Amino acid sequence: MTIEAPGTTAYLESLVDVATGELDRRIFSDEEIFDLEMKHIFGRAWLFLCHETQIPKKGDFFEAPMGKDNVLVVRQRDRSIKALLNTCTHRGNAVCRAEEGNVRNFMCTYHGWTFGLDGELVGVPGMSDFYRDELDRSKHPLRKVAQLDTYKGFVFATMDPQAPPLQEFLGRTGRIAIDLLAERGDIEARPGVQKFTLNCNWKFTADNAFDYYHPQITHISAQAVGMIPSADVNDTGGAKTDEGKALGVQRLPTDLDTLVALGEYGHAISGPSLDSMLRTLPPEMHELVTWRRNPGPLAALGPVGSRFAGHPHLFPTAWFTMDAQISLRVPRSAGVTEVWWFSFKDRNESPEEQKAQLGRQIHSFGPAGFLEQEDGENWSQSTAQTRGGASRDIPQLLKMGLGRGKIIHEDGVARIEAPVNEHAQLWTYLSWLQWVKGTDWDELRSATTPGDYI
């Protein structure tokens, strides 16, 4: 690849070559590119903050990241939701140190300025003695996000007043990504969010959601201990050991037909089709991978949406898993990413099934997740090798299925049906390039609207 001079649009364009399926490694380690990502992606996109069931009562709050900003998502007295920047308007201190909880107001621990649930400045120590009643409190509320909206209980916000409405940003593919979780039943967030830090660039965590090439090798340890079945017992699927069976884990679908959806602004869904996955699994595991418990969900998902069994990913960083979890990848620097795991349950499921699902959720992903330990080491090592003066000149390859990504348009979804491929990863970087260049909203939408081929 020929790389143009840094600091220009031509430089950014020279780092992503969709035609050859090659990426320059600098995009994973360059701090200036990271700053552009913060400004043009995380400063503009609608970002997932939390689920409404995490803040059911007035005064409930949850602290969520928006790029390098932190916002307090707060249930108001009138039941509406606001998201306030967690920074005091006096001299910047965080007004809340807790990650979630219930409050009547937020008092800054520096000088004691106090803000109401709606962010209004309601208390200033020494207002008459020190300020001589000359401070206009109405001019210094906590700042709010530019726009906040919800979709089926999932709360999103954007810092950009010009951003299109949430529904338009999500598009059909983004809405299906959420529906695959929202329509599983009467869902509720389980208490607490698991959080841990990886020394990796956030994009490795994002593109891996679509990678069905790695499990057979990366997760061979999980196979060896019987947590997931190994390839040599794949005729019947199912786990090899009692422990694996108890976890309800499934055969790794590396040899399945995949169904890929590409959506506007970079959203995508990729992985095995439901029919393909069900073909390979024993009947007792079908319930685990299908949400067709009643006709309602099927209608909401539509003829294409109801066929997905892969991984939905909302650009830039929210992965909705098969087993009712959301993984939010929070970039802290070019080389450091926090991974947050939100886990959900269906209120109508039996206590036994809820418990079994919790076991699967904890043991698969998160800090105690076997699979994520294996993935995380790859991401950290891959990131480290983007820094070497010689190593970084070797391009990253996304050539699997290149030139074979024929797109079929149906029911508002642009889909590709093919063996395991890297179409969704390529779509992610094609879209990433448009975002990071600072492309305006209209152009961004048209540049990330799927055509006939990728």
When CB distances are held under 5 to 8 angstroms depending on the partner's kind, the choice from Fe ion, ligand FES, none that residue 91 binds is ligand FES
Which CB, 108 or 334, lies closer to ligand FES?
Answer: 108
* Site stretch for ligand FES (CB under 6 A), options 86-94, 131-139, 141-149, 414-422: 86-94
Residue from the set 108, 145, 181, 322 that interacts with ligand FES by CB under 6 A: 108
Distance CA 367, CA 373 (A): 7
When CB distances are held under 5 to 8 angstroms depending on the partner's kind, the choice from Fe ion, ligand FES, none that residue 332 binds is none
Q: Token pair 């999932």 is at which residue?
A: 154
When CB distances are held under 5 to 8 angstroms depending on the partner's kind, the choice from ligand FES, Fe ion, none that residue 453 binds is none
Which CB, 63 or 211, lies closer to ligand FES?
Answer: 63
Q: What is the smallest separation between the CB atom of 128 and ligand FES, expressed in angstroms?
A: 17
Residue from the set 83, 88, 398, 413 that interacts with ligand FES by CB under 6 A: 88
Q: What is the smallest separation between the CB atom of 92 and ligand FES, expressed in angstroms?
A: 6
Distance CA 169, CA 45 (A): 8
Residue 142 DSSP SS3: coil
Structure tokens at 200: 């990796």
CA-based nearest residue to 28, from 333, 434, 276: 333
Residue 265 DSSP SS3: helix
* Site stretch for ligand FES (CB under 6 A), options 68-76, 106-114, 126-134, 159-167: 106-114
* Site stretch for ligand FES (CB under 6 A), options 110-118, 141-149, 271-279, 316-324: 110-118
Distance CA 437, CA 20 (A): 20
What amino acid occupies position 168? E
Distance CA 259, CA 106 (A): 47
Does 375 interact with Fe ion (rule: CB under 5 A)?
yes
Ordered DSSP codes for 382-433: HHHTTSSTTGGGSPEE--TTTT--B-EEETTEEEEEESS-SHHHHHHHHHHH
Q: What is the smallest separation between the CB atom of 377 and ligand FES, expressed in angstroms?
A: 41
Mask for 157-196, x = binds Fe ion (CB under 5 A): ----------------------------------------
When CB distances are held under 5 to 8 angstroms depending on the partner's kind, the choice from Fe ion, ligand FES, none that residue 375 binds is Fe ion
Distance CA 238, CA 338 (A): 32
Q: What is the smallest separation between the CB atom of 61 and ligand FES, expressed in angstroms?
A: 17
Q: What is the smallest separation between the CB atom of 131 and ligand FES, expressed in angstroms?
A: 12
Does 144 interact with ligand FES (rule: CB under 6 A)?
no
CB neighbour burial string for 376-386, b if at least 16 within 10 angstroms, e if fewer: bebbbebbeeb
Which CB, 64 or 322, lies closer to Fe ion?
Answer: 322
CB 324 within 8 A of CB 187: yes
Which CB, 96 or 318, lies closer to ligand FES?
Answer: 96
Which CB, 113 or 308, lies closer to ligand FES?
Answer: 113
Structure tokens at 294: 């009643």
State which H helix or E strand residue 345 sits in: strand 336-346
List, in sequence order, every residue forming a beta bridge with 196; answer none if it has no partner: 339
* Site stretch for ligand FES (CB under 6 A), options 75-83, 109-117, 173-181, 297-305: 109-117
Tell me the site size for ligand FES, rule CB under 6 A: 10
Q: Say what the alpha-carbon torsion angle 160, 162, 168, 170 is, to the nearest 10 degrees.
A: -20
When CB distances are held under 5 to 8 angstroms depending on the partner's kind, the choice from ligand FES, Fe ion, none that residue 101 binds is none
* Site stretch for ligand FES (CB under 6 A), options 3-11, 88-96, 315-323, 435-443: 88-96
Does 93 interact with ligand FES (rule: CB under 6 A)?
yes
Q: What is the smallest separation between the CB atom of 112 and ligand FES, expressed in angstroms?
A: 6
- Classify the phi-psi angles of 443: left when phi > 0, otherwise alpha if psi is within -120 to 50, otherwise beta: alpha
Residue from the set 91, 279, 399, 409 that interacts with ligand FES by CB under 6 A: 91
Residue 397 has φ and ψ, to the nearest 5°, of -110, 130
Which CB, 16 or 88, lies closer to ligand FES?
Answer: 88
Q: Token pair 């081929």 is at which residue?
A: 453
Q: What is the smallest separation between the CB atom of 228 and Fe ion, expressed in angstroms?
A: 10
CB 25 within 8 A of CB 396: yes
Cα-only R_g, the chain: 23
- Residue ranges binding Fe ion (CB under 5 A): 375
- Residue ranges binding ligand FES (CB under 6 A): 88, 90-93, 108, 110-113
